[in-house]
Structure 1
Amino acid sequence: MKRWRWVLPLLLPSLSLELAVEVARITAFAVLKCRRIASTPLYKTAVVATVTFCCHGPNSMSFHSIIHRPSSPFNLALQIRFLRGYSLLRDPQYNKGLAFTEKERDAHYLCGLLPPTVITQQLQEKKLMKSIREYQVPLQKYMAMMDLQACIQLIILIFKQHHICLELFEGMKNLLERNERLFYKLLIDNVEELLPVVYTPTVGEACQKYGSIFRRPQGLYISLKEKGKILEVLKNWPERSIQVIVVTDGERILGLGDLGCQCLPVTIDVGTNNEKLLNDEFYIGLRQKRATGKEYYDLLHEFMCAVKQNYGEKVLVQFEDFANHNAFELLAKYGTTHLVFNDDIQGTASVVLAGVVAALKLIGGILADHTFLFLGAGELGCVISSLSCYQAGTGIAELIALEMSKQTKAPIEESRKKIWLVDSKGLIVSSRKNSLQHFKKPWAHDHEPLNNLLDAVKVIKPTVLIGSSGVGRTFTKEVVQAMTANNEKPLIMALSNPTSQSECTAEEAYQWSEGRAIFASGSPFDPVEYKGKVYVPGQANNAYIFPGFGLGLVISGTIRVHDDMLLAASEALAKQVTDENYNKGLIYPPFTDIRKISANIAANVAAKAYELGLATRLPRPADLVKYAESCMYSPVYRNYR
């Protein structure tokens, strides 16, 4: 079989179409093994757009299952056979638009279907960026990007008894042309400018208005109507091999609340309690109140079991934007049986810990030398500050305590004593234990009660102030000045999103601290000029962590996520901050280096997986950084012939 696979490209042009199809059917599974890992540094965006699943049975394969693989001699022969003319121009992965050379146009029956000019991918990119920059409204830029990238499944090829049947989806002539490689090249080369368009903050508005701007389905939708047949639903997707699934139930999209089905693939649609959506004629989800309790968890359990049955235990399931109570429960339940990761919980913790570790070069000392004060210890705040106490993943405070314990070799209980929390009733202290929710109790230390944040700052004298309250302008001028009175260089992190809910702005932090604060936020802020010096605020953006973290899990064949992997990701990110960045007051590296950053994070995570005995991809690559880079998706056009 192996030798025939390599001879096929030489024979295929002279074979009949029937014979070519039969050979393709017989050897398809061998071809599937040739696929390399295709992971962009912003893999979340990629997965959201193209979450891939297999179709029914070994004898029924999609066109994508056979054609859409990295180039091999066999694949190239099939491309030449099946992708030509308008089919090639409309294909999700192989269209190059005006970048097709004259030779390629002639070989693939494109002559006359395109204007005569041949342009480079670089010129296409330049033209598109010019068009995108002409839009004044961020949501318009987002929609322009999605038009370029949106999933368009135009052709389904069914192999059956030596014959093929081409089924075009209804209305396909109305679908827009898509150029996947140009989309990702545009994003990679202009990531700092475009990330706020395709990710936070613009994606929040896109989610809120998703029903109105919906044009074509992207990803997979699983609702209560599919209960009992989720495995069959998974098999409806035309791709066979996947490494990552991003799944949401839409209840807490970006902190915007319950958006029901207006969210990210894979969508678990259990209804919505959002009355505005239920009354919106354009809403595309189930029109019923959100399911809870046993009905909800039974559906999620069936989904998780079906995923494992269909794709094995090495597929990564990333929980995205679940409400806190469900996020904790799911992470606790499936963390020991599946490869699962919650970006809102674990990703946030890891990226903030990285900023704190990096900031030590500016504020001095080690973690154990510092005192941390968190604002926000309610259920929302505990997403940021105390998640492992809920017996589900780790939050920032717990991850800081773990790293502190690792550095000092002290018990984690001792490390927790350096971390204080303030909730709506004031400082969390031991005298309040009887009335505290159980996930707050490990953070209740012996101290007199303090009623507000300002009093806590004055008495506790923290060196690091972290906001996760979800309430804007809670880091008042008095609070920032109190931090400055206690510290030469106070570290202030205002993490709440969106910008309107940030605990303070970058300008306020720098002005009120007289330029002494080291500032980072969850939302992006422009550079600030104060007394002739320009300060560049850092952004604790999860996009620093989850791409490299996911890639590290995939390239090592990891079967479970361990807390030490999160520490490894944080340490790798902190090491990417250069002296030039520090001179600007930055505690995070620039996003222009995201591919390099992600490769280093992936290597560190993979190394930890091998160290813990959780990696299954053997032998271990000698150079994990180079291996991670080699597994990343390259958006450069390929020559077809």
Structure 2
Amino acid sequence: MDSTMKELRGGKTVLDLDPKSTVGGGVEDPYGEDRATEDQLVTPWTISVASGYSLLRDPHHNKGLAFTEKERDAHYIRGLLPPVVMSQELQEKKLLHNLRQYQVPLQKYTALMDLAERNERLFYKLLIDNVEELLPIVYTPTVGEACQKYGSIFQRPQGLYISLKEKGKILEVLKNWPERSIQVIVVTDGERILGLGDLGCQGMGIPVGKLALYTALGGVRPSSCLPITIDVGTNNQQLLDNEFYIGLRQRRATGKEYADLLHEFMCAVKQNYGEKVLVQFEDFANHNAFDLLAKYGTTHLVFNDDIQGTAVVVLAGLVSALKLLGGTLGDHKFLFLGAGEAGTGIAELIALEMSNQTKAPVEETRKNIWLVDSKGLIVSSRKDSLQHFKKPWAHEHAPVTTLLDAVKAIKPTVLIGTSGVGGTFTKEVVEAMAEFNEKPLILALSNPTSQSECTAEQAYTWTQGRAIFASGSPFDPVEYNGKVHIPGQSNNAYIFPGLGLGLVISGAIRVQDAMLLAASEALAGQVTKENFDKGMIYPPFTNIRKISAHIAANVAAKAYELGLATRLPRPENLVKYAESCMYTPNYRTYR
């Protein structure tokens, strides 16, 4: 095949791809994902060069030792590589072997991030093919430690940093990003990273990790993903005193200054990328998270993973657990430890689904759900002092100050932890649950592992192996009395990649609760009898791309049904269409 190079303005050259080899290019991408398009030329400074030495240092196009003899001649890299030609599969095998030599998870994390900066397709191939092994490295729990130490391990910037210094210039900053066609933005202000608190600018590890999963698990093209950190300062004194801290050295901006910066950001995003770009809010503190979702939910395509994603994945686990517990959602009583964005978000979605099933008003179905915060059970006598998002959960009951007393008083069938405080499901609490439930359902959802309300081993041991258990971070299988119990992981990674793909392929312009319920239903439907027999309430992660395709199809179907989809006509088979739109990281042939 002839070596052809494409001329751009200024006489520079970009790589031209063999069109027949462009596998899984994604949604409506007539140029092929890796081509420079006319759109990209409007970025003020961009000149794409993809030949010779530059090609080997371009992570989007570099294939390392997998360049063929023909490609090495055609693209001026003869002699710049050792003579061997290695397949992508062999490269993957070598990298996996090297990763397994590291004893410390953070070393594996930095090695994977280095690979992403060197060879993007190989990074995603490795992640997709070894998802169960590598998910805890690129996501929770290791990503939490990476954020804590981000200033020290920071090497090359990933994503966009928008600080108070950029006020009035955010649109210009967005135009500095080289990709023009962005479909998904994950943004954080770093105030509440996992259960680790305010990590300021170092929270960037979260949007980077989430978007890696959007691609690996949901098939959204990496070139259409943009991680953003909004830096308004930090109240973490340790970071402010740390000479290696990479963010603004000031206390957090609040009130009007904060709201104005976020508003400029949201307007600039819509102006630059259009109405169909999904903005996922990630790890914002409670007060801001609820306000942002309420403010922009009617004008932008927005989603908060901590409020909505967590709720969807937990609801899916509850629905599938009913196969083991019996009854309907309305037959069960729920008690939460933690009444922040995760706890109230899950509670509201459960109430909504119960309302859908029973046709009772949501105000009525909420009465089956009780929440405990740092001051005790949320009851009506506390209503005047409660934050607005807690008020719907203030039911008539005498005051109760401890979780143990709340368990004894309410007698829940399901105990859910979203407190961010490790070890709060004590032996006494779990044993109390086991006293009046044959199969107590215990969900210890706080991340990372150190913040989990109890461990899988504790849950099984303290209930004599009767508990159905799931957690936010992964736990190993537990053997109790000769039986192996496989704990579930109520991991948002089951939901947001498929949900995002569904929004993208339908061209949705808003996210509505009905779409969230559709995503939850799709996930619950993927749990097989074989999974249930092992006590599992979630499907194994090895099938995650298939699961994501089903979730995407369900979400897209709901978008079409609600008249919120813009990509017309509607494809006949949405599952097949979702699968055909998924990015695949196999190498392309260059000519």
Q: TM-score, normalised by structure 2?
A: 0.89
* Structure 2 partner of 1:385: 343
What is the SS of the residue equivalent to 1:605? helix
CA distance in 2, matches of 1:447, 1:277: 43
Mapping 1:432-447, distance limit 5 Å: 432-447=382-397
Q: CA deviation at 1:21?
A: 5.5
Q: CA deviation at 1:608?
A: 0.7
Q: CA deviation at 1:438?
A: 3.3
Alignment of 1:578 onto 2:552 = no
What is the SS of the residue equivalent to 2:269? helix
Alignment of 1:618 onto 2:568 = yes
CA distance in 2, matches of 1:313, 1:509: 46
What is the SS of the residue equivalent to 1:314? coil
Alignment of 1:209 onto 2:149 = yes
Among 71, 82, 90, which residue is 1:115 paired with? 82
Alignment of 1:200 onto 2:125 = no
Determine if contact 1:473/1:504 at 8 Å carries over to the other structure: yes
* Structure 2 partner of 1:83: 50
Specify the code of the residue in structure 1 equivalent to 2:486. Answer: V
Among 111, 114, 119, which residue is 1:144 paired with? 111
Among 131, 138, 153, which residue is 2:98 paired with? 131
Specify the code of the residue in structure 1 equivalent to 2:27. Answer: I
CA distance in 1, matches of 2:415, 2:58: 51
Bigger shift: residues 628-637 or 134-143: 628-637
Structure 1 residues without counterparts, runs of 5 or longer: 1-8, 25-33, 40-49, 65-81, 151-177, 387-394
Q: CA deviation at 1:212?
A: 0.8
Deviations 1:65-102 (A, max 9, x none): xxxxxxxxxxxxxxxxx532212212221111111122
CA distance in 2, matches of 1:18, 1:53: 10
Specify the code of the residue in structure 2 equivalent to 1:583. Answer: D
Determine if contact 1:38/1:633 at 8 Å carries over to the other structure: no
What is the SS of the residue equivalent to 1:266? strand
Alignment of 1:316 onto 2:256 = no
Deviations 1:385-405 (A, max 9, x none): 22xxxxxxxx00000000011
What is the SS of the residue equivalent to 2:171? helix
CA distance in 2, matches of 1:587, 1:363: 11
Determine if contact 2:338/2:419 at 8 Å carries over to the other structure: yes
What is the SS of the residue equivalent to 2:59? coil
Structure with higher RCO (Cα < 8 A, 6+ apart): 2
Q: CA deviation at 1:470?
A: 2.1
Q: CA deviation at 1:18?
A: 7.7
Mapping 1:213-292, distance limit 5 Å: 213-264=153-204, 265-292=227-254
Determine if contact 2:40/2:179 at 8 Å carries over to the other structure: no
* Structure 1 partner of 2:553: 603
Bigger shift: residues 552-561 or 444-453: 444-453
Deviations 1:256-315 (A, max 9, x none): 111111122311111112221112111111112211111111111111111111111111
What is the SS of the residue equivalent to 1:233? helix
CA distance in 2, matches of 1:350, 1:360: 16
Instruction: Select the structure of larger CA radius of gyration.
Output: 1
Among 317, 323, 328, which residue is 1:366 paired with? 328
Specify the code of the residue in structure 2 equivalent to 1:37. Answer: V
Specify the code of the residue in structure 1 equivalent to 2:363. Answer: E
Structure 2 vs 1, CA of residues 249 and 525 (structure 1 numbering), >3 Å: closer, same or farther? Answer: same
CA distance in 2, matches of 1:618, 1:528: 49
Deviations 1:579-632 (A, max 9, x none): 111111111111111111111111111111111111111001111111111111
Q: CA deviation at 1:182?
A: 0.4
Among 351, 360, 363, which residue is 1:401 paired with? 351
Alignment of 1:106 onto 2:64 = no
Specify the code of the residue in structure 2 equivalent to 1:416. Answer: R
Among 461, 484, 490, which residue is 1:534 paired with? 484
CA distance in 2, matches of 1:598, 1:260: 31
Q: TM-score, normalised by structure 1?
A: 0.83
Structure 2 vs 1, CA of residues 533 and 499 (structure 1 numbering), >3 Å: closer, same or farther? Answer: same
Q: CA deviation at 1:120?
A: 0.9
Determine if contact 1:252/1:323 at 8 Å carries over to the other structure: yes
Determine if contact 1:324/1:383 at 8 Å carries over to the other structure: yes
Structure 2 residues without counterparts, runs of 5 or longer: 15-23, 205-226
Determine if contact 1:53/1:237 at 8 Å carries over to the other structure: no
State the number of aligned residues.
555
Aligned-residue CA RMSD (Å): 2.5
Determine if contact 1:222/1:269 at 8 Å carries over to the other structure: yes
Determine if contact 1:463/1:490 at 8 Å carries over to the other structure: yes
Determine if contact 2:43/2:176 at 8 Å carries over to the other structure: no
What is the SS of the residue equivalent to 1:254? coil
Q: CA deviation at 1:573?
A: 0.8
Report the identity percentage: 78
CA distance in 1, matches of 2:43, 2:376: 64
